[in-house]
Amino acid sequence: MGAVITAEALTKRFRRPVKQAGLSGSLKHLVRPRYTEVTAVDEVDLSIEAGESVAYVGPNGAGKSTTIKLLCGIIVPSAGRVRVCDVEPHRHRSRNARNISVVFGQRTQLWWDIPVIESLRLIGDIYSVPAADYERNLAEMVDVLDLAPLLDVPVRQLSLGQRMRCDLAAALVHSPTVLFLDEPTIGLDVAVKAKLREFVGLMVRERGLTLMLTSHDLGDIEQLCPRLVMLHSGRVLYDGPYAELTRRFAWETKITSTLAAPPGGRPEEAAADILGVTRAELHDLTTLNVWFDMRVTTYGAVISGIVDRFAISDISVEEGDAEDVIRRLYSGDLKFSTEDVS
Ligand SMILES: Nc1ncnc2c1ncn2[C@@H]1O[C@H](COP(=O)(O)OP(=O)(O)OP(=O)(O)O)[C@@H](O)[C@H]1O
């Protein structure tokens, strides 16, 4: 099967007003408005095949939501090309809407005051789902998501986990080709998270659903998405297998040393002086954490540098893994060079 989602040099720029603080700032802005331009999505290339599950990750402000909005046709690109199921989303919004579904962990698409089953029926009607397809779809989702006790309950009376299960069912009533999940497991307990992931995985396997997921939850990514697209400042920083992230980015390794006694002077500076060390921190008087770049030095050289400078009673090494890379990406702590940005 061919690509379901394609983006070529997809770019979205926003104009943001520049205002000085206070009343005079607001008045000046009224008289002579000034704007600055923000490039939220910057020449992004993407090609996602039917049935693929892709995690779309990046720190706050990286451009994830803006990309999803472009793919949903809610906003118009400033430059570049985008197609979802052979439709230009912003030009044919309702045709695009038939092919996609979006679930936001923070918001519901169900009607707050009416029973869940009524919402599902309404969605079926809006999308003109044939009655037999609707019944078959509903029966499968009620079964797999264990919805039977919830169908007659108004949405406002549901717990977050119950509501998310219903929201997922609602998203799939019209059998979309593409599902966008935005932080689907935020705030859910471990058991509900597991159930949701299992359900989404099943839909991908059985229905050939194409999944694009944004999540801060590494479990979601690890369990659902073999492929990961990492975004930073609107640009694609990495696009490849989840498993290869470590080789590419986890070159920073940590050595934790327990010092025999609290060191005098400036221990962090002394440690940072060792070739290849990227940073050093002292905790609880005698715990010294040193991070180094595996591409420029070796464990042996760094350990001997530490031993030369400090009296050590214990030492341990912690290699980075994919989880660590993503955690550092989200915290803004991931170090990468401009060559990393494609
Ligand atoms: N309507 C808008 N007007 C002006 N700037 C915007 C608008 N929407 C987004 N931006 C800016 O575009 C950039 C990307 O925002 P976006 O919401 O896509 O990031 P994100 O990766 O989804 O972040 P988060 O994880 O915080 O949701 C940010 O700098 C944001 O301030």
In this prediction, residue 295 carries a pLDDT of 80
Percent over 90 (pLDDT), the chain: 62
How much is the pLDDT for 226? 93
Question: For residue range 20-58, what is the model confidence (pLDDT) as tens digits?
Answer: 777 777 777 777 777 889 999 999 999 999 999 999 998
* pLDDT above 80 (res 337): no
Asked if residue 62 lies in contact with residue 234, where contact means CB atoms within 8 angstroms, the answer is yes
Ligand 1, residues at Cβ distance < 6 Å: 14, 16, 38, 40, 58, 60-66
Handedness of CA 187, 189, 191, 194 (dihedral sign): positive
Q: Whose CA is nearest to atom 31 of ligand 1?
A: 61
Instruction: Identify the pLDDT of residue 179.
Output: 96
Q: Is 233 left (phi over 0), alpha (psi -120 to 50) or beta?
A: left
Q: What distance in angstroms lies between residue 38's CA and the mean position of ligand 1's atoms? A: 9
Mean pLDDT of the chain: 89
Domains annotated for the chain, with CATH where assigned, are 3-246 (3.40.50.300), 252-319 (3.30.70.100)
pLDDT-based confidence at 1, cuts 50/70/90? low
Give me the mean pLDDT over the 283-290 stretch: 93
What pLDDT digit, counting tens, does each position of 295-335 carry?
A: 888 889 999 999 999 999 999 987 777 777 777 777 777 76
Q: What is the pLDDT of residue 47?
A: 97
Tell me if 330 sits within 8 A of 224, measured CB to CB: no
Helix (H) or strand (E) holding 262, with range, is none
Q: pLDDT above 70 covers what percent of the chain?
A: 96
User: pTM for the complete prediction?
Assistant: 0.78
Q: Span 272-277, mean pLDDT?
A: 93
Ligand 1 pocket mutation, candidates 38, 76, 104, 329, criterion most atoms within 8 A of CB = 38
- CB-CB neighbours of 235 under 10 Å: 18
Angle between helices 160-172 and 190-207 (to 10 degrees): 10
What is the reported pLDDT for 189? Answer: 86
Asked whether the beta carbons of 221 and 215 are under 8 A apart, the reply is yes
Q: Is the pLDDT of residue 342 over 80?
A: no
The SS3 call for residue 198 is helix
Query: Does the pLDDT value for residue 13 go beyond 80?
Result: yes
Say which residues have a Cβ less than 8 Å from residue 270's Cβ, sequence separation at least 6. 263, 309, 310
Give the model confidence (pLDDT) of 167-223 as tens digits: 999 999 999 999 999 988 888 888 888 989 999 999 999 999 999 999 888 889 989
pLDDT confidence of residue 107: 83
Q: How far is the CA of 39 from the centre of ligand 1 (A)?
A: 9
> How far is the C-alpha of 61 from the C-alpha of 66, rounded, in Å?
9
Pairing relationship of beta strands 277-283 and 287-293 according to DSSP bridges: antiparallel
Say what the pLDDT of residue 296 is: 86
